[in-house]
Amino acid sequence: MSDLFAGHAPPQDPHNKSGPKVGQPLADRLRPATLNDVVGQEHLLGPEGPIGRMVAARRVTSMVLWGPPGVGKTTIARLLAKGTDLFFQPLSAVFSGVADLRKIFEAAAKRRQMGQGTLLFVDEIHRFNRSQQDGFLPYMEDGTIILVGATTENPSFELNAAVLSRSQVMVLRRLDDAALDGLLVRAEQDAGRPLPVTADGRSALRAMADGDGRHILTLAEDLFALTPQPAAPLDAAGLAKVVQRRAPVYDKDREGHYNLISAVHKSLRGSDADAALYWVSRMLDGGEDPTYILRRLTRFAAEDIGLADPQALQIAISTWETYDRLGSPEGELAIAMLVIYLGTAPKSNAVYAAYGEARASARSTGSLMPPMHILNAPTRMMKDLGYGKGYAYDHDQDEAFSGQNYFPDGMAREQFYRPVERGFEREVAKRLACWQKLRKEKSSPAREGAQRPARDGAQRKESP
């Protein structure tokens, strides 16, 4: 992307004879006048883009514009209506209800009778509840309205399936540095003077905007309004003193929350401690509850490291306790230590996989009894019935290993746990191989009867 707007000067509406309104924000003054003036969303608006093809055919269908703040959702909807001679009806889901919708539908039906269609633009459409969203359906189906919804949230989570099935989802991209710099150039042309910043300060200004075109124009407007103007252009440090950084785009109960914790988990699984530390920092900077992060890191220690490094789980719990004692911000350093430890630890999901296989086996064989020889016999009647008969007390056997069967009678022995050749599990694998060898030897005909029975009281000692 080169600029957000094409050309060197903002296009002017020929019907607007009065010029800028008093107090009109810079972002509104520089709003594009046609879809061709908008760049930065070429994948949607270009000749081969879905919206570009709609405009060329003058046939618009309902859609959902999904993207972060300040990337042109409202502008595209407004200009889409203008470019196809549709009546533009804006509506905010935050401030509107069923009564407002009913009036809009009635007015749209009258316009339709007179030969004009209505593009209903619903900002923050995810704010409408499910029943309110259902109210759009009959009017979308009969053509009374063309619905264009705007949302910063994942439509698959927030919108009814029925609404989505009647709409196309258009994904808008955050503005990159080239597009943001283009906006700064437009702001300078509007003001007739350059921004009072150095090259370093200009780069910092783009970083502060974080992909939000509206916000970078607001920052530029604040810089032009400084009184007095700086004696020398501002560098990054000087800029931070006079303008405020944009708050990170992060909502603790919506998609951004799950995207970032997914990035943390997968970075750790990929043994990239630096990337994981970055994503954890993003979450903390966005206001995430540190205890949620600690819970997920503890889960990671059990799921993706397991016995490859048994200390990982202990360190996770210790870090959690440390944070509980220190709180923020001091306790966040302990979280950083844990992230780095987990990222650099040997990885294994053998325990996780074994547990899943064992659960599946348990569900399919859930009524089988344990073999009689490993059942306790606390009463004479149970002993007479054969409970505990033939049990071999392992501590009395060679290698402290009897090799007896502990699975239900009639169920073949299964191997759920398969340790990897990494970390501590390499040693565990050696033990399992040794026991498997002994098990085969002890089950051979030549060895039958060689096991020593349990001593008196041994079963009571082993009772739970």
Q: Which of 139, 171, 203 is the last residue of a domain?
A: 171
Q: Are residues 288 and 397 part of one domain? A: no
Average the pLDDT over 426-433 and give the result. 94
Q: Are residues 331 and 288 part of one domain? A: yes
Q: Are residues 53 and 166 part of one domain? A: yes
Average the pLDDT over 133-150 and give the result. 93
Q: Are residues 431 and 327 part of one domain? A: no
In which element (H, E) is residue 241 found?
helix 236-242
Q: Which of 121, 137, 171 is the last residue of a domain?
A: 171
Q: Are residues 316 and 399 part of one domain? A: no
Residues 434-444 have pLDDT tens digits of 999 998 888 76
In which element (H, E) is residue 90 found?
strand 87-92
What is residue 223's predicted lDDT score, i.e. its pLDDT? Answer: 93
Quick check: 360 pLDDT over 70? yes
Q: Are residues 414 and 302 part of one domain? A: no
What is residue 454's predicted lDDT score, i.e. its pLDDT? Answer: 59
The residue among 453, 367, 451, 445 whose CA lies nearest residue 410 is 367
For position 71, which CATH number holds?
Answer: 3.40.50.300
- Count other C-beta atoms under 10 Å from residue 457's C-beta: 9
Q: Is residue 24 part of a domain?
A: no
Q: Are residues 143 and 45 part of one domain? A: yes
What is residue 13's predicted lDDT score, i.e. its pLDDT? Answer: 47
Q: Is residue 267 part of a domain?
A: yes
Q: Are residues 382 and 338 part of one domain? A: no
Q: Is residue 133 part of a domain?
A: yes
For residue 78, what are the domain limits? 41-171
Q: Are residues 127 and 66 part of one domain? A: yes
Quick check: 253 pLDDT over 60? no
Q: Is residue 3 part of a domain?
A: no
Q: Which of 171, 194, 209 is the last residue of a domain?
A: 171
Q: Is residue 18 part of a domain?
A: no
Q: Is residue 87 part of a domain?
A: yes
- Dist. CA 15–CA 30, nearest whole Å: 16
Residue linked to tokens 């399936």: 161
Q: Are residues 157 and 120 part of one domain? A: yes
The residue among 444, 417, 451 whose CA lies nearest residue 432 is 417
Residues 210-247 have pLDDT tens digits of 889 999 999 999 999 888 888 899 998 888 888 876 65
Q: Are residues 51 and 106 part of one domain? A: yes
Q: Domain count for the chain, please give it.
A: 3
Q: Is residue 188 part of a domain?
A: no
pTM of model > 0.75: no
